[in-house]
Structure formats: C-alpha cells, structure tokens
Amino acid sequence: MEEKEVISKNFIERIIDKDIENGIEAKIITRFPPEPNGYLHVGHAKSILLNYGLAQKYNGAFNLRFDDTNPVKEDIEFVNSIVADVEWLGAHYDGEVKFASNYFEDMYQAAIRLIKKGKAYVCDLTPEEIREYRGTLTEPGKESPYRNRSVEENLALFEGMKNGEFEDGSKVLRAKIDMASSNINMRDPILYRVARITHHNTGDQWCIYPMYDFAHPIEDAVEHITHSICTLEFEDHRPLYDWVVIECGYKNTPEEFPKQIEFAKLYLKNVVTGKRYIKKLVQDGVVDGWDDPRLVTIAALRRRGFTPDSLKKFMDLVGVAKADSSVDYAMLEYCIRDDLKLKAPRVMAVLDPIKLVIDNYPEGEIEYLPASTNMENPELGTHMVPFGRELWIDREDFMEEPPKKYFRLFPGNEVRLMNAYFVKCVSYEKDETGKVTTVHCTYDPETKNGTGFTGRKVKGTIHWVEATTAVEATARLYENLVDEDKGVYNKETGEMNLNPNSLQVVTTYIEPFIEEFKPGDSFQFARTGYFCIDTKDTTEDQLVFNRIVSLKSSFKLPK
C-alpha cells in the first residue's frame, strides 16, 4: 500500500480549509495592502509571498492595493517602487493595481449610512481633548459633548466637512460605539478628518480623508476579499474591523467575509527595518538611498544581489506563526548561498592585488586555459582564461614568514595556480615602506592543469588574474550597517549604533570573462564570496560589484 505524503499546513491554511469544509461558495481572494509612504522591506516580502501563495494554493485571486488614505506621507515614487518589488518577487496580482483612493466615494457613502443609523457623529473636540476623553487601559473613557447631535445636524456638518467649510483639524467624524469598552480601539474611533492636501491619485477632489481603520475594511469588502491577513499589532483592531464591515452593510456576522486573520511579523536580528529609521538614514546621507545594499528594503536586497528564489526559501524556513520571534540574518545569507551555488558562474577576481611575475615564462606570450564555469554544476560548461608572465594575486596569498599550516606562497614553497600550473616562489620585492609589491616565481610547464600530471603534489591552490587582460573594477564589501555587539539602537538616546566599517570600497582585477555579463548578474568570486554587478552605479566605462555574501558561514539550519 502506497503511503500518502503528509503535508504540514500553517494555521491560516487550516482556517481556510475549515471555511471550505463549512461550504463557503466564495472564491478565495487575498491582498497585499501597502501604504505608499516608503520602500518595502524584507518583512513585507513575507506578507506578499504569504498572501500570493495562499491565492495560488486555493486557486483564488491576489490583489495589489495601495492603502493611500494619508497623502501627507505618500508619494508616487513609493507607489512605483512597491509595484516593482511585488513584480520582482513574482507575485502576480489580478487585474490592475488598485488604490484605496478609488473607493473614496464608497467610503463617504458608507459614512453617511452610519450617520443615518445613529452610529457616527461629527465631533468638535481637539485632538488633545479626544485623547484625554479616551481614558486609559484601566479607566473607561468619557463621552464627547457632541456625541448626541441629531442625525440631521451630523449629516449637514459632515457635508460641510466634505465641502471645505471647516478648517483642517477643526472637526472629525467619529464612530458611536462604546466609550467604556475594554478595547480602546472601540471607544468612538475617528473615521474621517478634514485635511486640505493634494493626493497623488485624486488630486484636490477631496478635503476629507478616511482613517485607516475605517477605510481598510471597506476596501476589503468592496474587493470581495475573503481573508484579510495582517500582522499581530492589528489583533486588537479586529473588533473594529468587523464593526465597520457589519454596520456599513457588507456582512452580517464576524464569521462572514471579509474576515481578518493576524500572523507574526518577521523580525531580523541586528538590522534596521523601521521606515522612520531608514528614512532618517537616507536623509542624513548615511546611505545612498532607500536601495543602498546595506539596507534590507526589497529594493536594496535586489540591488545587492539577492534573488526572489532566495527570499522565498527564507520565508519557507521562517514559516507562518502566531507568536513573534526573531531570526538571524545569517539564515537569509544561507538562503542566497544555497540559491546561487548551482546558478552563479565562478570567476577569478583579485581584491587586494600584488603582482606575481613568472620569471621563466616567455615574455609577451598569452595562452588560454579552460576553466569550469561552475564546478558544482557541469551544465554551465567551461570558459577560457588568459594566462601569461605577469599575474595579479591576492596579498593574503603570500607571506614572507608564514606560520605553521600556511600552504600558500612563501619563499621556497610551491603552489598550484587555479586552472593553470605549479609555481614556486623564488624571491619578492618591497617598496620603501616595506610593503611587498611583487612576488617572483618559476613555473613547471609539465604541471599544466588537465594534463594528468602526477609527479608531485602541492597543498595549496590560489587564484589569480592575468595582468594585461584583466578588467579593472570597483568592489564594494559590505558588513552589517549597525554594530552587532551593541545592538541596533542605543537604549538611552534611541539613536542607531552604526558600524563605521559597514562599507569598504576596493579596486579589483577580474578575468575578462566578466565582460560577457550585464548589471544585475551574479557570480562567485573564487575563494572570496558571491558578488553581483551593481545596477545603479555601473557604467560602460566602470564595472561596480556588490558583495552579496561571503563564501562560507558557520550558520546551520536547525534540525
């Protein structure tokens, strides 16, 4: 008898399965509802992939909809960046990109319905007074003196708000629920405020704007969203979400659709994810924009060289939970290494160069040697590497007085040049500061790679680049943006503990095979790490590389 595969499901999938078992006829529809007030970060990628993945699994639909109800902080730049991020992740949204602002008339009419039902009123209290009247977690709130205005007066005042008859901030529309509720969110929350601000989508059509807690459930209802998935901080807002949808006539009970489900946010240790902090880093010039490769915005991860597949693998490993937890950044690095190890071509690049001269190699002669493009994936084939008398090698591959178990170049020692010959160090040169500038070697032509030479063995293999054909480029070596030993934020000042060594820029020499590739392509620099060609600063005359991740890590997947 064939055993059936047991598939583990997360708690959201179990909820959907139960809904289906209970005979719902609605098509499963999810959405990703970003506010266009900044660039998305890695935590948003979890929400995108979760919502899209559920729609795919249940043969449903996935909407991309902007919660653009606060034009003070919103910008079309952020809209465009978010659309690019979602599409890059491979989350295919149904139809056109949607905007909450397209439903402003629906929200206005819903507010009128609430007023007519006696469920909403216009309030003249100042923001400070509203906060004071709200009460505390242990004390009930106090009713507004304007709470019992008549339906007719509220309708007239609300229309006046809409028509621009009142100053910004002078009046708000509030829900009439329960000022003694144990849930502060239910203590007559604000639904609309007066604000004369030009909106990126509706221009100056409106001078009143709905609050998020009122707009969001209506957007879900209008789009026939079945499962409105959000993060845990909205759990206490769920009663208000249901109240809005029910009282506005979109459903009759909390169990009907749309229904809100909360899951745990993704917290990465020792990285900056808060939009407010990222914005400050950008404004202060600490980073060169929202897509600086030291950040973990999706745009930054894309520019640094992370792939959609690596992020998907990462999210699968993190899982979907109901309780908050933190994840090591090293797990994300593991995922990109795992993704690139069979995909990325391997090239030789020297990041801290010194010259190696092979004294007995013919001057002016260049030969081409075959090199495996990816030793772990033979399907990528081979390419030819130029070899000559003068090479670049990494400074760390030569020592005048080596310690024990150092198997690279030092006077009298022999090593293999990767894909080439054995060479033996015979002498070296220094500059006036005592720094080694040139290493002299001799080579053994009988030891050519691929000839099956077995005469003797060497313990060390080093990489190199032929000097006259090398491509000169800039490499940017990244470390964590914050000081991991001190934590992200200073507990006393609230300032970020920035790492002054988060970026090191070096000149590097690379084999000419690199010229066959384009910005955005990724590689393994032999013995060094994974790099990609920067998509922003690379020009026709200058290649710029970003280090994605070092070659090795001590990180291991938990069992």
| Entry pTM | 0.93
**Statement: residue 122 has pLDDT above 90:** yes
Measure the CA–CA gap between 469 and 466, rounded to whole angstroms.
6
Q: What pLDDT score does 7 carry?
A: 57
Q: Is the dihedral of CA 542, 548, 552, 554 positive or negative?
A: positive
- State how far the Cα of 90 lies from the Cα of 72, in Å rounded to an integer: 30
514/523 Cα distance (integer angstroms): 9
Question: Considering the chain, what percentage of its residues have pLDDT values greater than 70?
Answer: 98
pLDDT band at 481 (very low <50, low <70, confident <90, very high): very high
CATH 2.40.240.10, the chain: domain bounds: 349-463
Q: Which of 461, 551, 473 is nearest to 511 (CA)?
A: 473
C-alpha 467: how far from its chain's center?
A: 38
Distance CA 162, CA 454 (A): 88
- pLDDT at 553 (0 to 100): 76
Give the strand pairing for 543-550 and 503-510: unpaired
558/46 Cα distance (integer angstroms): 20
Task: For residues 228 and 56, give the distance between their C-alpha atoms in angstroms, rounded to a whole number.
Answer: 16
State the DSSP string of 75-89.
Answer: -HHHHHHHHHHHHHT
pLDDT of residue 1: 39
Least confident segment among 109-123, 154-168, 199-213, 492-506: 492-506
259 exposure class (CB count in 10 Å sphere: 0-12, 13-18, 19+): buried
Amino acid identity at 156: A
The answer to whether residues 532 and 546 touch, using CB atoms and an 8 Å cutoff, is: yes
> Residue range 504-512: average pLDDT?
98
- Sign of CA pseudo-dihedral 274, 300, 73, 144: negative
Q: What is the pLDDT of residues 142-177, one digit of tens each?
A: 999 999 999 999 999 999 999 999 999 999 999 999
Burial of 208 (0-12, 13-18, 19+ CB in 10 A): buried
pLDDT for 270 beyond 90: no
Burial class (CB in 10 A: 0-12, 13-18, 19+), 198: exposed
Q: Cite the beta strand spans of 379-495 per DSSP E.
A: 382-387, 390-394, 414-417, 422-430, 436-444, 461-462, 465-466, 471-478
38-61 pLDDT, tens digit per residue, is: 999 999 999 999 999 999 999 999
Average pLDDT over residues 23-43: 93
Instruction: Indicate whether 506 pLDDT > 90.
Output: yes
Exposure letters 222-235 (e unless 16+ CB within 10 A, then b) = bbebbbbbbeeebe
**How many other C-beta atoms are found inside a 10 Å radius of the C-beta of residue 543?**
21
The architecture (CATH level 2) of 349-463 comes to: Beta Barrel (2.40)
Give yes or no for a contact between 391 and 355, defined as CB atoms under 8 angstroms apart. Answer: yes
More confident position, 442 or 559: 442
Percent of the chain residues topping a pLDDT of 90? 89
Per-residue pLDDT, 4: 45
Query: In terms of CATH architecture, what is 12-263?
Result: 3-Layer(aba) Sandwich (3.40)
Confidence class of residue 559 from pLDDT cuts 50, 70 and 90? low
Model confidence pLDDT, tens digit, residues 435-473: 999 999 999 999 999 888 888 899 999 999 999 999 999
CB 362 within 8 A of CB 437: no
pLDDT at residue 276 tops 90: no
Residue 558 has pLDDT above 90, yes or no: no
Residue 475 identity (one-letter amino acid): A
Can you give the pLDDT at residue 6?
A: 46
Q: For 316-332, how does the pLDDT look when each residue is reduced to its tens digit (9 = 90+)?
A: 999 999 998 889 999 99
pLDDT category at 2 given cuts 50, 70, 90 is very low
Q: For CATH 3.40.50.620, list the domain ranges present in the chain.
A: 12-263
Residue 239 CB: number of other CB atoms within 10 A?
A: 16
Residue 178 pLDDT: 98
pLDDT for 557 equals 72
List the one residue out of 22, 20, 1, 24 whose CA is nearest residue 9: 20
